[in-house]
């Protein structure tokens, strides 16, 4: 806290009298923000301390510091987003929109909501942007420490449990984090974390080279299908055996409320009901990678169409045993216009077919009449 | 929104819980297990606020297991229930109360089967049958009418099915499947999942 020292933040704390009755809007059952401050946010695994009441050395985290006691936000936080993650036979797909909104304003149309934690784990974030950024960094740090101490990667479920435990002391405060951890649990015997990281890095490198081509217009299936299928072949040779108890694709949802769920399809955010509708309809375990990518893209696209707080672009990540691959960000506005064009074309074609049919029917009738007249 | 039910027989306890994990209006999971195994013959069923349920139940679970490791023998269901209640009561007037409703079901060698009802205000009652959730309003009277202290396992399952039928008919929410478990002197047995058929 160098800035704090430079500004002389601590110097005048002695003069401020202790403030015992703090206005608390949320009712007595919930912690006030000052009480939250006493639970030093950097001691995650320690239980909440009781407020001792005496202040020998007032610190920034002291409850007697009235400026921190009530948070007056000038604006209302909104949790508008569409993120989703699902598993299938070919790994895990994580997809999200890129709109960061704040009430009626789009703060950032190109934010990144999916952040890689390590070579085999990605976290999709929703809720308060600042909280998500912070907690994602904290989780990355803790996972890296675990990896260094235990010489193996923490599983996705383990990471979810860790994050859930770290968030628990902040339950009842205004921390709002709803993340989906999408990743692949590796087999420790076959791939040590070093080789796994190397392979992951190699994979990312090859994908970056491949995905420089802009995404061409196409229907729901991925435009890079040729590129991806060629790289897919090379993965198939090396891909670990399919789903066992200790390895395989995993998706886990963690919320600052404390909810922690493992599943096959998870979608979070204001656009999630729309996404669920598309995912539930199209998901099968046996999907190919292209189908899965297409499904994820479609789900985010539909959600961004109906939900005001989701939109702009879509990010897609695909995680397999060998690491994660990222697809280029795609603007959904173009997809919307492409779909309109397709719909117009389809209507024209159907009109043509209908006319053909009618002509054919008329011709048939004319023939019949002729033959009838002909007889007479 | 969630539903728990327990029925105690002369030498067994039958418990069931719904399988829905919901977040606002969305069912995020259809096969969520709300029962926590405390020991070989004790089950804790826990519903309530999102994070509190798992946090509290796992805390109790680990402590019961720790007791076994330290002392070499398991806590009895009655002791486990009282321990749970004590923890709920301690946290009740703290700044972080646990908003959970519990059913604890167990089989003791000496005392036989036991079903304990606990709620978020840390009330504890040993009851022959109990239910939690909005569904309880609809099913407690059925349990009242048809319960006998010496009912057999089949009768208990039939009674459970009656309750679920009633839920299906009158409860506004769709709880389409229930995990069912039976505890007796041989331990915890998983039974067939019950699903609410078409109305």
pLDDT tens-digit series, residues B127-167: 999 999 999 999 999 999 999 999 999 999 999 999 999 99
CB distance from A48 to chain B under 8 Å? yes
8 Å CB contact of A259 and B26: no
Q: Do strands B100-108 and B42-48 pair parallel, antiparallel, or not at all (unpaired)?
A: antiparallel
Task: Give how far the C-alpha of residue A319 lies from the chain's centroid of Cα atoms, to the nearest Å.
Answer: 13
Catalytic residues of A: 81
B23 contacts chain A (CB < 8 A): yes
Query: Both tokens of residue A309?
Result: 């707080």
User: Which whole number is the average pLDDT over A53-71?
Assistant: 40
- Contacts of A239-243 with C-beta under 8 Å, sequence gap 24+, read A239/A320, A239/A321, A239/A322, A240/A186, A240/A187, A240/A190, A240/A191, A240/A321, A242/A89
Binding-face residues of B in 28-47 toward A, CB within 8 A: 28-29, 32
Position A23 in a domain: no
Find chain B residues with C-beta within 8 A of A258's C-beta: 49-52, 54-55
Q: B4-195: which CATH topology?
A: 3.60.20
| For chain B, domain boundaries | 4-195
Q: What is the mean pLDDT of residues B13-42?
A: 92
**pLDDT for res A2:** 56
Residue A25's pLDDT band (cuts 50, 70, 90): very low
Give the range among A13-22, A311-320, B158-167 with minimum mean pLDDT.
A13-22
Specify the number of domains making up chain A.
Answer: 1
Question: Would you say residue A228 lies in a domain?
Answer: no
Contact across the interface for B51 and A272, Cβ inside 8 Å? no
Q: Is A8 strand, coil or helix?
A: coil
A66 touches chain B (CB under 8 A): no
Lowest mean pLDDT among A45-49, A120-124, A324-328: A45-49
> Looking at the domain assignment, is residue A357 inside a domain?
no
CB contact under 8 A, B21 and A259: yes
Q: Whole-number mean pLDDT of chain B?
A: 93
Q: How far apart are CA B15 and CA B131, in angstroms?
A: 10
Q: How confident is the model at residue B77 (pLDDT cuts 50, 70, 90)?
A: very high
In angstroms, the separation between the Cα of residue A86 and the nearest Cα of chain B is: 12
From A184-188, A234-238, A340-344, the region with the lowest mean pLDDT: A234-238
Q: Is the pTM of this model over 0.90?
A: no
Q: Which residues of B touch A257 (CB under 8 A)?
A: 49-51
Q: Dump strand ranges (E) for A269-374.
A: 313-320, 323-331
CB A319 within 8 A of CB A182: yes
Are A180 and A155 in contact by the 8 Å Cβ rule? The answer is: no
Of A35, A263, A272, the CB nearest to B29: A263
The answer to whether B27 contacts chain A (CB < 8 Å) is no
In the A/B pair of chains, how many CB contacts fall below 8 A?
A: 47
Q: Do A266 and B32 touch (CB under 8 A)?
A: no
Determine, yes or no, domain membership for A204.
no
Residue A39 to residue A27: CA distance in whole angstroms = 19
Residue A37, chain B, CB below 8 Å: the answer is no
Q: What residue in B sits closest to A259 (Cα-Cα)?
A: B51
Task: For residue B128, give how far its alpha carbon lies from the nearest alpha carbon of chain A (Å).
Answer: 31
Closest-CA residue to A124 (of A181, A69, A70): A181
Of A172, A263, A273, the CB nearest to B96: A172
Chain A interface includes B51 (CB < 8 A): yes
How much is the average pLDDT of A28-48?
44
pLDDT at position A156 over 90: yes
Of the pLDDT bands very low, low, confident and very high (cuts 50, 70, 90), residue A346 is very high
Mean pLDDT of A283-310: 92
Predicted confidence band at B48 (pLDDT cuts at 50, 70, 90)?
Answer: very high
Across the interface, whether the CB atoms of B54 and A260 are under 8 A apart is answered yes
**Angstroms from B52 CA to nearest CA on chain A:** 7
B1 touches chain A (CB under 8 A): no
A145: domain CATH number is 3.60.20.10
pLDDT of residue A72: 47
pLDDT at A367: 87
Query: According to the model, what pLDDT value does residue A311 have?
Result: 86
Nearest CA in chain A to B93: A29
pLDDT at position A5 is 59
Nearest CA to CA, how far is B59 from chain A (Å)?
A: 12
Tell if the CB–CB gap between B28 and A266 is shorter than 8 Å. yes
- CA–CA separation, B113 vs A90, rounded Å? 48
**Min Cα separation A278/chain B (Å):** 14
Residue from the list A35, A258, A261 with its beta carbon closest to the beta carbon of B52: A258
Most confident of A336-345, B75-84, B89-98, B167-176: B75-84
Which span out of A50-64, A234-248, A284-298 was modeled with the highest average pLDDT?
Answer: A284-298
A263 with B23: Cβ contact below 8 A: no
Residue A230 lies in a domain: no
CB-based contact, A31 to chain B, within 8 Å: yes
Which residue of chain B is at minimal alpha-carbon distance from A265?
Answer: B28
Name the residue of chain A whose CA is nearest to B92's CA. A29
B71 touches chain A (CB under 8 A): no
Q: Find which of A9-18, A305-314, B39-48 is predicted with most confidence, using mean pLDDT.
A: B39-48
CA distance B183 to chain A (A): 26
Q: A261–B21: do the CB atoms touch at under 8 Å?
A: yes
Among chain B residues, the shortest Cα distance to A272 is held by B26
| Residue A326 structural domain | 79-187+246-331
Averaged pLDDT score across all residues of chain A: 73
Alpha-carbon distance A237 to A239, whole Å?
Answer: 6
């Amino acid at each position: 806290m160098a800035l704090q020292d430079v500004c002389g933040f601590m110097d005048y704390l002695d003069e401020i009298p202790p403030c015992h009755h703090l206005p608390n809007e949320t009712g007595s059952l919930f912690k006030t923000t000052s009480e939250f401050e006493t639970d030093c946010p950097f001691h995650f695994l320690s239980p909440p301390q009781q407020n001792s009441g005496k202040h020998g050395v007032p610190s920034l985290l002291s409850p007697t510091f009235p400026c921190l006691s009530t948070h007056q936000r000038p604006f209302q936080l909104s949790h508008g987003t569409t993120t989703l993650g699902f598993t299938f036979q070919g790994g895990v797909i994580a997809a999200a929109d890129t709109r960061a909104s704040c009430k009626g304003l789009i703060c950032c149309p190109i934010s990144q909501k999916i952040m890689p934690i390590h070579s085999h784990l990605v976290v999709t974030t929703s809720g308060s942007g600042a909280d998500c950024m912070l907690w994602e960094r904290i989780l990355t740090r803790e996972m890296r420490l675990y990896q260094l101490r235990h010489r193996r990667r923490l599983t996705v479920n383990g990471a979810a449990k860790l994050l859930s435990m770290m968030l628990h002391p902040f339950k009842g405060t205004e921390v709002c984090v709803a993340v989906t951890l999408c990743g692949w649990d590796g087999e420790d015997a076959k791939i040590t974390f070093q080789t796994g990281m190397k392979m992951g890095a190699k994979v990312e490198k090859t994908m970056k080279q491949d995905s420089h081509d802009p995404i061409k217009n196409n229907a729901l299936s991925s435009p890079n299908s040729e590129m991806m299928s060629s790289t897919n072949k090379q993965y198939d040779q090396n891909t670990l055996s399919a789903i066992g108890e200790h390895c395989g694709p995993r998706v886990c949802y963690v919320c600052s409320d404390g909810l922690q769920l493992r599943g096959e399809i998870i979608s979070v955010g204001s656009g999630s009901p729309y996404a669920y509708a598309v995912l539930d309809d199209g998901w099968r375990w046996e999907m190919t990678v292209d189908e899965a990518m297409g499904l994820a893209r479609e789900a985010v696209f539909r959600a961004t169409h109906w939900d005001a707080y989701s939109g702009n672009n879509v990010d897609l990540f695909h995680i397999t045993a060998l690491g994660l691959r990222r697809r280029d960000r795609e603007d959904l506005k173009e997809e919307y216009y492409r779909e309109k064009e397709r719909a117009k074309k389809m209507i024209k074609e159907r009109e043509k077919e209908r006319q053909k049919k009618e002509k054919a029917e008329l011709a048939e009738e004319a023939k019949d009449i002729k033959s009838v007249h002909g007889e007479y | 929104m969630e539903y728990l039910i327990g029925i105690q027989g002369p030498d067994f306890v039958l418990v069931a819980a719904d399988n829905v994990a919901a977040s606002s209006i969305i069912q995020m999971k259809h096969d969520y297990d709300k029962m926590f195994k405390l020991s070989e013959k004790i089950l804790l069923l826990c519903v309530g606020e999102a994070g509190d349920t798992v946090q509290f139940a796992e805390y109790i679970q680990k402590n019961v297991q720790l007791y076994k490791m330290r002392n070499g023998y398991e806590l009895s269901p009655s002791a486990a229930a009282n321990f749970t209640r004590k923890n709920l009561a301690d946290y009740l007037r703290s700044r972080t109360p646990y908003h959970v409703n519990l059913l604890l079901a167990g089989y003791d060698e000496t005392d036989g089967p036991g079903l304990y009802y606990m709620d978020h205000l840390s009330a504890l009652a040993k009851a022959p049958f109990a239910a939690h959730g909005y569904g309880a309003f609809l099913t407690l009277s059925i349990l009242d009418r048809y319960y006998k202290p010496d009912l057999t396992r089949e009768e208990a399952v039939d009674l459970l099915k009656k309750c679920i039928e009633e839920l299906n008919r009158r409860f506004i929410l769709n709880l389409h499947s229930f995990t069912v478990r039976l505890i007796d002197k041989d331990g915890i047995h998983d039974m067939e999942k019950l699903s609410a058929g078409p109305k």
